[in-house]
Structure 1
Amino acid sequence: MNLPVPAVTIGLLILSNLFMTVAWYGHLKFKAAPLFVVILISWGIAFFEYVLQVPANRIGYGHFSAAQLKTIQEVISLSVFVLFSWVWLGERLTWNVALGFGFICFGAFLIFYNFGGSSH
């Protein structure tokens, strides 16, 4: 079964961002853990982020421009982070964070919308 390039790319980017977010922010609940240990564990987790991110970009490039790939990654990253910070860290989404995220999504719209120019 061959999945469409956008589905594979976005699916891999979602998974890679789950690993990245855990690597970067998961340790915040474990402030007593030695920093060196946290760095090594985070580095190990981040390896899997790269294992997914690199193929996502390689598969998606050509169907998406580099700017579009980066935009998809950033929107996914922020979406995953908002959920992670709520579920794992217990932080609530405030109006100003939601508004800022909305502006970023508007920026993503501008990158993807064809105003009559080239396709990328």
Structure 2
Amino acid sequence: MPQLSVPIVTIGLLLASNIFMTFAWYGHLKFKTAPLMVVILASWGIAFFEYLLQVPANRLGHGHYSAAELKTIQEVITLVVFAAFSVLYLKEPLHWNHLVGFALIAAGAFFIFHRWS
């Protein structure tokens, strides 16, 4: 059975971890009547699973990627996951200014990953 490459596994784990974390941080916004302590505890419970994926992703990926590159990958994934979450789960539209802001952050990723000679 072929082994998956470090970049594929790292990015896959970061993507999965970010889905958990997005629900931990923002999923409770649909449950405004729930007591704050309940949503905090639920968020911690969800975040536990995020850590089970995030920590191995960073450990595996470090060496192939620098810490700055890992953080940049995480931030780009965060934007993609959050944009989908916002539209699909929270039913909040993305406006042109959100997309421009996200594009500028993605442009920052170019500067992190570009090999300057």
**TM surpasses 0.5:** yes
Q: Structure 2-normalised TM-score?
A: 0.98
Task: Show the 5 A alignment for 1:1-120.
Answer: 1-116=2-117
Output the amino acid matched with 1:111. I
Runs of 4+ aligned residues of structure 1 deviating over 2 Å after TM superposition are: none
* Separation in structure 2 between the aligned mates of residue 12 and residue 56 of structure 1, nearest angstrom: 6
Gap regions ≥5 residues in structure 2: none
List alignment gaps of at least 5 residues for structure 1: none
Q: How does the TM-score come out when normalised to structure 1?
A: 0.95
Size of the aligned set, in residue pairs, is 116
Structure 2: distance between partners of 1:30 and 1:93: 21
State the Cα distance separating 1:2 from its structure 2 match. Answer: 1.3
Distance 1:61 1:108 in 2: 17
